[in-house]
């Protein structure tokens, strides 16, 4: 079976971008299958391909990419008859490649997870940032790891081989860096709002600060990029934050503060200094204590 022929099940942003990039590398799209008329129209506007049932796609393609939402991947794979030498690939960062395996043993079917570590707002953005993206690769064999590396490099990316048993931790880390960053910015906007700054103005004023922090991480790495009161050991400032922050947001502040405290100690050690012991103990205490039932904390 020709491995330079591929099919797409699920014609959303990721499926469309992968298909376009693969055709640029002289791969041939044998067909697509989808339940979404709108996503199919967007796909066909970029790349013409026959719309076929899964069984026929399995006959035509050496690579089957299932790029549906996570909840539909296993059901989509179940529609595919096993074909010798065929690769089944999904792009979920959380689900194992094993969900692609046929119900009955079919050793000739090979399964792979190829997860682009990026967030996509649209096809154009995906096409711009997939080259250079990092990919989490997970499969059931050394051959799967090799195939994943091959595809990641072909797409212009950087491959990382994952332990299937620990893939969930990889995905949790990705969620923290992407999804929770958005939630954290929402928290900052809310606090600005309570200080009297409207949401639109708050976001506009915070974005340069966020971008600066990202640049610092890129330029000097961790823990050196950490700045602020916890890095300095300024206990009174942190106490004042907790005195004013709404009670429901204090656990988030404290949880992130404990991580920042460890980074702060590492940063000082790398600079040949020491985190002052009294400040460390005080900071540790206020970042670990819980609020009392009346909503106040014990500072």
Q: Which residues pair with 158 in a beta bridge?
A: 134
Dist CA 297 CA 140 (whole Å): 50
Within 10 Å of residue 266's Cβ, how many Cβ atoms? 15
For domain 5-171, say whether CATH 3.40.50.720 is its number: yes
Cβ(62)–Cβ(6) below 8 Å: yes
Pairing of strands 110-116, 134-139: antiparallel
Q: What is the pLDDT of residues 6-35, one digit of tens each?
A: 999 999 999 999 999 999 999 999 999 998
Q: How many residues does the chain have?
A: 299
Half-sphere exposure of 28 (CA within 13 A, CB side): 11
298 pLDDT tier (thresholds 50, 70, 90)? very low
List the strands of the sheet with 134-139, edge to edge. Answer: 28-33, 5-9, 63-66, 87-90, 110-116, 134-139, 158-161
Structure confidence by residue, pLDDT tens digits, 149-201: 999 999 999 999 999 999 999 999 999 999 999 999 999 999 999 999 999 99
* pLDDT interval class at 85 (50, 70, 90): confident
Residue 273, class by beta-carbon neighbours within 10 Å (0-12 exposed, 13-18 middle, 19+ buried)? Answer: exposed
For residue 121, report the phi and psi dihedrals to the nearest 5 degrees.
-95, -20
* The pLDDT of residue 1: 61
**pLDDT on residue 36:** 87
Tell me how crowded residue 277 is: count the other CB atoms within 10 A of its CB. Answer: 8
Q: What is the DSSP letter of 145?
A: H
Sheet strands (E) in the chain: 5-9, 28-33, 63-66, 87-90, 110-116, 134-139, 158-161
pLDDT band at 73 (very low <50, low <70, confident <90, very high): very high
* pLDDT at 226 > cutoff 90: yes
Q: For the segment 38-49, what is each residue's pLDDT rounded down to a tens digit?
A: 999 999 999 999
């Amino acid at each position: 079976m020709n491995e330079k022929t591929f099919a797409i099940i699920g014609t959303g942003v990721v499926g469309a971008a992968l298909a376009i990039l693969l055709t640029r590398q002289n791969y041939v799209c044998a067909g697509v299958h989808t339940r979404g008329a709108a996503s199919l129209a967007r796909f066909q506007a970029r790349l013409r391909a026959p719309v076929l049932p899964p069984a026929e796609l399995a006959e035509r393609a050496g690579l089957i990419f299932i790029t549906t939402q996570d909840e539909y991947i296993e059901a989509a794979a179940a529609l595919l008859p096993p074909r010798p030498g065929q690769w089944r690939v999904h792009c979920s960062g959380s689900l194992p490649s094993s969900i692609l395996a046929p119900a009955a043993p079919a050793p000739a079917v090979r399964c792979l997870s190829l997860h682009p570590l990026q967030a996509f707002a649209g096809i154009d953005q995906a096409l711009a940032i997939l080259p250079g993206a990092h990919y989490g690769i997970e499969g059931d064999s050394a051959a799967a790891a090799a195939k994943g590396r091959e595809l990641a490099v072909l797409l212009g990316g950087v491959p990382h081989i994952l332990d299937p048993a620990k893939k969930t931790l990889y995905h949790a880390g990705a969620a923290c860096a992407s999804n929770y960053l958005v939630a954290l910015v929402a928290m900052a906007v809310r606090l600005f709002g309570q200080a009297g700054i409207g949401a639109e103005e708050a976001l506009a004023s915070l974005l340069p600060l966020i971008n600066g922090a990202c640049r610092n991480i890129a330029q000097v790495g961790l823990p050196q990029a950490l700045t602020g009161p916890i890095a300095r050991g300024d206990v009174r400032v942190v106490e004042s934050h907790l005195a004013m922050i709404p009670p429901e947001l204090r656990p988030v502040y404290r949880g992130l503060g404990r991580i920042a405290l460890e980074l702060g100690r590492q940063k000082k050690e790398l600079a040949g200094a020491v985190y002052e012991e009294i400040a460390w103990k005080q900071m540790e205490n206020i970042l670990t204590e819980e609020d009392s039932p009346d909503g106040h904390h014990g500072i």
